[in-house]
C-alpha cells in the first residue's frame, strides 16, 4: 500500500499516542506491514534500542503494538528537558548536546532534510506509516518552523486525523478552533476528527456531532469511550493518581516523585502484583514507613538530590530504612543511595561539583561526558532470575568496599559480556541499587523481591503466579485495538489512507 496517516491533536495529552498505538495494532492485525513515526518527541521517558540508540517510549509502545523492534528512525529527534528553557538534543538516537530553546529553533531547520529522507524511507519500506504529531498544529507562533505537525504532514504528504479530548471540556470549540486557525491548504489535509475519552450517552452527543460536521466540513470518524488499560503514559504529562489504584494491596510500595523524574514507566509492572499498593510521594509529602521505598531515575540527579535534602526527604528515607523499609534505587536513584556524587567537569550541574549522597551503599559516582546507552541482560545474584532491561546514564559508579553486586551482566546490545557487574546490594539485603531500567518488568525477580520483603515483615508469602509483563502488554494492545476498532469507522480510515491527499 505504501501509504501514511497522521494523528494530530487539539492539545497535548488528548490521546494521540494511545490512538496511534491502537491504529498500529489494528493495521498489523489486518495484515499490513505497519510502522510508527514521530519526527520530534519531548520526554524524559526514553528507551534504548538494540543498536544502543535512545528514543521516546511512546514510539516504542507503538512499535510493540505493530510487532516491530524499536528503531530510532521511528523517533529521529528526542528532546530531554534539563531546565525550563533547555534540553538535551538526541538525533537518530545519539546525544548531540544541550541547547537553549532559541538555539534549538535555529538548529532544527538543519534537520528537515534528514526527517524528509527518513519518512520517505519508512513509507517506501512499509505498507502503512502511522505518524504522530505533537501538541497542537494551531500554535500559530511556531508554524513557520514546524517539523512535527502540519509541516510534517506536508513532508510526508499524509492525510491527517485530528483528535479532541472531550473529558477536558470544550471539545467542539477546540476542534473547530484548531481547524479555523490553520491555513486553507492545511485544512484540506484534515480528513476527519475523533472525539476521545467520552463518558455518557452517545445519543445526547449526536446532535453536536452533526453540527460540528456541518461547521468543519469533515466527518467525525468515531467517539472513543474513556477506558482504563495498563498502557504506558505518552510522555511527561502524567496523571500520578492513577498509579495508586490498588487499595486492597497489603504491601506498600512508595516511589519518591523526584522533581525531574525520568523513566517512570519502570513501575507499570507493579500493577500485575495483586498485593502491591503503589503510591508516588512528592518530596514535600510524608513518606511514613512503606514496605519498599524506590528512588527512581532522574534527568538531573544532583539537582534532585539537592532538592531532596532541602525538603528533608533524605531524612525521611533514612528514618524509614531504620524502621524496616527496604530501599531500592534505579539509575539516578542508585547514585543518590551512595556516599558521594562528583561532577568535576560540570557535566550535569554548573553550581554543585560534589554532593553527599544518602550513604546507604558504599559507592561513589563521577559524572563523565560519555553516555552509556545499552540493552542489558544478566542474572541477579540474589534470586538467580534472568534480568533484561536497559541503561541510560552518564555517571560511572565505583564500589568503595565489600562489593556485592546485584546483577551479573552477560549481554549488552546483543554482544556477550563476562565478569561485568551491575548495581549493589547491602549485606542484610535491605538496600538495593541498579542502573538497569525496566528491572521490575522481570516478573520472577520482582515477585522474589516482594516475597523476601513480605517474609522480613512477617507477612505470608504471595504465591499467585504473575504473568510475564511483555505478555501482559500484548494483551493490553489487543484490548486497546478492540475498543478503538469498535468505535471507529475503520472503512473510512482505510479510505482516507487509500485516497491520500491532493498534491
Listed in sequence order, the residues at least 6 apart from 284 whose beta carbon sits closer than 8 Å to its beta carbon are: 311, 313
164 CB neighbour count, 10 Å cutoff: 26
Residue pair 176/216 in contact by the 8 Å Cβ criterion: yes
Q: Is residue 243 part of a domain?
A: no
Residues 453 and 480 in one domain: no
220 and 258 together in one domain: no
pLDDT given for residue 244 in this prediction: 53
| Structural contact between residues 70 and 55, judged by C-beta atoms closer than 8 angstroms | yes
Question: Domain holding 298: CATH number?
Answer: 3.40.50.880
192 and 120, same structural domain? yes
**Which DSSP helix (H) or strand (E) runs through 193?**
strand 190-198
Average pLDDT over residues 267-288: 94
At residue 109, does pLDDT exceed 70? yes
Give the mean pLDDT of 424-452: 96
Predicted local distance difference test score (pLDDT) of residue 245: 52
Q: Are residues 307 and 355 in the same domain?
A: yes
Residues 313, 168, single domain; the answer is no
Q: Assess whether 442 and 495 both reside in one domain.
A: no
Q: What is the mean pLDDT of residues 439-451?
A: 96
Question: For residue 236, what pLDDT is reported?
Answer: 46
Active-site residue numbers? 331, 437
Query: Would residue 256 count as lying in a domain?
Result: yes
For residue 244, tell me if it sits in a domain: no
Residues 120 and 160 in one domain: yes
Q: Do 17 and 103 share a structural domain?
A: yes
Q: Supply the mean pLDDT for the chain.
A: 93
Residue 44 pLDDT more than 90? no
Q: How many CA atoms lie within 13 A of 276 on its CB side?
A: 26
With cut-offs at 50, 70 and 90, classify the pLDDT of residue 240.
Answer: very low
As for how many domains the chain has, the answer is 2
Give a yes or no: residue 259 inside a domain.
yes
Give me the mean pLDDT over the 42-65 stretch: 93
Q: For residue 452, is it within any domain?
A: yes
Residue-range definition of the domain harbouring residue 218: 3-231+474-499
Host H or E run for residue 88:
strand 86-91
Confidence class for position 345, pLDDT limits 50, 70, 90: confident
Whether residue 149 is found in the same domain as residue 275: no
What mean pLDDT do residues 437-464 have? Answer: 94
Confidence band for 247, pLDDT divided at 50, 70 and 90:
low
State whether 264 and 396 are in the same domain.
yes
pLDDT of residue 238: 52
pLDDT at 248: 76
> Where are the strands (E) in 413-484, listed by range?
415-422, 424-425, 431-434
| Inside any domain, residue 432 | yes
User: How much is the pLDDT for 233?
Assistant: 65
Q: State whether 214 and 295 are in the same domain.
A: no
Q: Does residue 422 lie within any of the structural domains?
A: yes
Region 220-236: mean pLDDT is 84
Of 177, 178, 185, 176, which Cα lies nearest the Cα of 217? 176
Question: Do 343 and 431 sit in the same domain of this protein?
Answer: yes
Question: Which residue has cell 530531554?
Answer: 80
CATH code for position 106: 3.40.50.300
Grid cell listed for 246: 490498588
Within-domain flag for 406: yes
Amino acid at each position: 500500500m505504501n501509504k501514511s496517516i497522521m494523528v494530530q491533536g487539539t492539545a497535548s495529552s488528548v490521546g494521540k499516542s494511545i490512538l496511534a498505538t491502537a491504529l498500529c495494532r489494528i493495521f498489523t492485525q489486518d495484515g499490513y506491514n505497519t510502522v510508527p513515526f514521530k519526527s520530534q518527541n519531548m520526554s524524559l521517558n526514553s528507551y534504548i534500542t538494540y543498536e544502543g540508540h535512545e528514543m521516546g517510549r511512546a514510539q516504542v509502545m507503538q512499535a510493540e503494538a505493530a510487532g516491530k523492534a524499536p528503531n530510532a528512525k521511528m523517533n529521529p529527534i528526542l528532546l530531554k528537558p534539563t531546565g525550563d528553557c533547555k534540553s538535551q538534543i538526541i538525533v537518530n538516537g545519539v546525544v548531540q548536546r544541550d541547547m537553549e530553546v532559541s538555539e534549538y529553533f535555529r538548529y532544527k531547520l538543519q534537520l528537515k532534510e534528514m526527517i524528509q529522507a527518513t519518512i520517505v524511507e519508512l513509507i517506501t519500506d512499509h505498507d502503512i506509516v502511522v505518524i504522530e504529531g505533537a501538541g497542537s498544529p494551531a500554535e500559530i507562533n511556531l508554524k513557520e518552523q514546524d517539523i512535527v505537525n502540519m509541516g510534517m504532514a506536508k513532508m510526508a504528504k499524509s492525510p491527517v486525523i485530528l483528535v479532541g479530548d472531550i473529558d477536558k471540556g470544550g471539545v467542539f470549540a477546540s476542534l473547530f478552533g484548531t481547524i479555523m486557525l490553520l491555513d486553507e491548504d492545511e485544512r484540506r489535509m484534515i480528513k476527519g476528527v475523533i472525539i476521545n475519552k467520552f463518558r455518557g450517552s452517545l445519543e445526547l452527543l449526536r446532535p453536536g456531532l452533526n453540527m460540528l460536521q456541518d461547521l468543519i466540513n469533515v466527518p467525525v470518524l468515531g467517539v472513543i469511550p474513556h477506558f482504563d488499560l495498563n498502557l504506558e503514559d505518552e510522555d511527561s504529562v502524567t496523571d500520578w493518581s492513577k498509579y495508586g489504584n490498588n487499595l486492597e494491596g497489603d504491601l506498600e510500595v512508595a516511589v519518591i516523585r523526584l522533581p525531574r523524574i525520568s523513566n517512570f514507566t519502570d513501575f507499570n509492572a507493579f500493577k500485575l502484583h495483586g498485593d502491591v499498593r503503589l503510591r508516588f510521594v512528592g518530596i514535600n509529602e510524608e513518606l511514613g514507613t512503606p514496605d519498599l521505598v524506590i528512588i527512581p531515575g532522574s534527568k538531573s540527579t544532583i539537582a534532585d538530590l539537592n532538592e531532596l535534602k532541602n525538603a528533608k526527604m533524605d531524612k525521611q528515607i533514612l528514618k524509614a530504612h531504620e524502621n524496616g523499609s527496604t530501599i531500592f534505587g534505579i539509575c539516578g536513584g542508585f547514585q543518590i543511595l551512595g556516599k558521594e556524587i562528583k561532577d568535576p567537569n560540570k557535566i550535569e550541574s554548573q553550581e554543585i561539583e560534589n554532593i553527599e549522597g544518602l550513604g546507604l551503599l558504599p559507592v561513589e559516582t563521577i559524572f563523565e561526558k560519555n553516555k552509556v546507552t545499552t540493552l542489558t541482560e544478566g542474572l541477579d545474584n540474589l534470586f538467580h532470575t534472568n534480568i533484561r532491561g536497559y541503561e541510560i546514564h552518564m555517571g560511572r559508579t565505583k564500589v568503595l568496599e565489600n562489593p556485592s553486586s546485584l546483577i551479573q551482566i552477560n549481554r549488552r546490545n546483543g554482544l556477550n559480556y563476562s565478569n561485568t557487574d551491575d548495581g549493589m546490594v547491602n549485606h542484610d539485603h535491605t538496600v538495593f541499587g541498579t542502573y538497569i531500567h525496566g528491572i521490575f518488568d522481570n516478573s520472577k525477580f520482582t515477585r522474589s523481591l516482594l516475597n523476601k520483603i513480605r517474609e522480613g515483615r512477617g507477612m505470608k508469602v504471595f504465591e499467585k503466579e504473575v504473568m510475564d509483563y511483555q505478555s501482559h502488554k500484548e494483551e493490553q494492545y489487543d484490548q486497546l485495538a478492540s475498543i478503538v476498532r469498535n468505535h471507529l469507522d475503520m472503512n473510512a480510515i482505510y479510505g482516507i489512507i487509500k485516497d491520500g491527499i491532493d498534491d
